[in-house]
Structure 1
Amino acid sequence: MMTDDNANTGQKVVLVTGPSGAGRTTAIRVLEDIGYEVIDNLPLSLIGRVLGGPALDHPLALGVDVRNRDFSTEMMLQVIEDLRENENHDVEVLYLDCSREMLIRRYSETRRRHPLAPAETPDHGITREIELLAPIRGRADVLIDTSDLSPHDLKEELMQWLSQSGAENLAVSVHSFSYKRGVPRGLDMVLDARFLRNPHWEPSLRSLDGRTDAVADYVAKDPRFDEFFTRVAELVDFLIPAYGDEGKSHLAIGFGCTGGQHRSVALTERLAKTLAHKGWQVSIRHRELERRAETGPASKQLG
């Protein structure tokens, strides 16, 4: 987690939450594998007691969801607030998110009962849980949308965000996507590239994507490209230290275009290279290209 000169140096605590089926159990296991002491399904009323003892010499992860005894939205929000105000604790809320449609699909594939709808179809419970957790989602420090992630992909994301320490290791991710499929969850900055000329209408480029020199050069020759990219890069240069000053551990930036294949991909690649050249740790996600490259099942259960 990013820190400034006056930042909290107390016990590192990660609260792991999110809707059932979005990946909370998988995340808990990953955190345990990378050195966190893990306590899952701890009643909210006992969190203060658990953290009241001497600080540990390793980070702590607490799994919290609607199945926890005495769970309520109000109580969860109060726990988060109390921990953040306590100088003995360095707290992050990790929220594993997922689209309603994918959650329904995962429950259908596994034939599990939803904890909030044991006698009904899962979609009723999923809707209730998403509404119940919405205020908590708004307090998240790290939000990972698992709708398109396999368990392996989720592990990669967690390693990117939560194994970092020190301001110089703030993690930046740059995403490309198609507006046809909606804006990915968890982005801090969204930029629309549809005003740039579209390589789709160039027959020789239509089957290529923005990772190729031919497409990247074509997009960059738009007369508005240079000024747009320069302004975006300058804004990101300003935001990264600002996020560090606020104690954030990552910044997620998204470029969208019509198909998520050409313009958004070219911009994502170029910005990632620019940031990496300046010494920032950068990861890239091309949502539409990754979907097309999938060879396994359309979805995998994230516990």
Structure 2
Amino acid sequence: MAEQLDLVIITGMSGAGKTVAMQSFEDLGYFCVDNMPPALLPKFWQLIRDTGSITKIALVIDLRSQAFYDQINEMLAGLENTAFVTSRILFLDATDDALVSRYKETRRAHPLAPEGRLMDGIQKERALLQELRNRAQVVINTTDLSPRQLREKLFHTFKSSDHPTFHVEVMSFGFKYGVPIDADIVMDVRFLPNPYYVAAYKPLTGLDQAVYDYVMDNPQASSFYDKFYGLLAEIMPQYQQEGKASVTVAIGCTGGQHRSVAFAERLGKALAQDFPVDITHRDINKRKATVNRS
């Protein structure tokens, strides 16, 4: 395979934030695998090389036993002799007090002390992982980090310039088909004149220039658009700072073919000047016969 594989091994103390880390790496565009037995790695590498489409991988590895730890060391030694893989170890740590508090909150048993004292499991794990911690290129202490702060730290450390970590989804829809349940912001444009009642525009959609102009040339639409876009332009960076991976803005009209489509098109193209944007029209091809549209 021509392209180099970027491999990040996520490991560390149980309860130190590996689940948050894996979710963060998924948003960074990594192919993530949780708790793969090291013995399966040779077949996994071969599968990755055969596909040729995966270049960023994050493996989450927990310490389950001394035998498992020995396999991890063998795996790492093998990677050092593999030319097509560039590997980094991310080790997540936290103080004993913090780990105890987190285990108490979740009421989970420690994997190395399923029936014993929690501190015994933590101390045993810390001793077994010491060599792996010493080999890690990146060590993050999560004692005083919230999940959002850990996510931001990982983004700052591992983000590549070719993969944006925040994007905007702009969607048009028809209220008669239901409000999208995944929308973060919903706006109703049914107050605008409806092209459906213009015979020439009825079979068209907001993607047709004549319908788009009919909707957006209206003074009400122009004024409303300026205010709504100004609001979104102000709050999107704040969503980004809060660590959201995406924000979905849903624009609705009655049937989702005319007004909402035109409005979503203009809004999406404007937001695309500052953010990665996907524009979708959920109901543009749906037509329902109605008895009374008055």
Q: State the TM-score, normalized to the length of structure 2.
A: 0.50
Work out whether residues 9 and 90 of structure 1, in 8 Å CA contact, stay in contact via their aligned partners in 2: no
In structure 2, do the counterparts of structure 1 residues 68 and 151 end up closer, same or farther at CA, with 3 Å as the change threshold?
A: farther
Q: Is the 8 A contact 1:42 1:68 kept in 2?
A: no
Amino acid at match of 2:57: L
Candidates 14, 26, 47, aligned match of 2:41: 47
User: Structure 1: 5+ residue runs without aligned partners?
Assistant: 1-7, 167-303
1:66 shift after superposition: 1.4
- What is the alpha-carbon distance in structure 2 between the residues aligned to residue 77 and residue 56 of structure 1? 27
Partner residue of 1:11 out of 5, 21, 40: 5
**Contact 2:4/2:55 (8 A) holds in 1:** no
Q: Match for 1:106 among 102, 107, 112?
A: 102
Judging changes above 3 Å, is the alpha-carbon distance between structure 1 residues 150 and 37 closer, same or farther for their aligned structure 2 residues? same
CA RMSD of aligned residues (A): 2.2
Q: Residue 89 of structure 1 corresponds to which residue in structure 2?
A: 85
- CA–CA distance in structure 2, aligned partners of residues 111 and 91 of structure 1: 34
Residue 161 (structure 1) aligned to one of 135, 157, 175: 157
What CA distance in whole angstroms lies between the structure 2 residues aligned with 1:56 and 1:130?
Answer: 37
Q: What letter corresponds to residue 119 of structure 2 in structure 1?
A: D
2:93 counterpart letter in structure 1: D
| % identical aligned pairs | 36
- Indicate if the aligned counterparts of 2:36 and 2:59 stay in contact, CA closer than 8 A: yes
Alignment of 1:85-234 (within 5 A): 85-164=81-160
Gaps of 5+ in 2: 163-294
The amino acid of 1:24's aligned partner reads: K
Whose radius of gyration is greater, 1 or 2? 2
Greater relative CO, 1 or 2 (CA 8 Å, sep 6+):
1
Q: Hey, what does 1:65 align to over in structure 2?
A: 62
Number of residue pairs aligned between Structure 1 and Structure 2: 158
In structure 2, C-alpha distance between the alignment counterparts of 1:51 and 1:68, rounded to whole Å: 24
What amino acid is aligned across from residue 30 of structure 2 in structure 1? Y
Counterpart CA distance in 1 for 2:53 and 2:76 is 19
Q: Give, in whole Å, the separation in 2 of the partners of 1:38 and 1:68.
A: 22
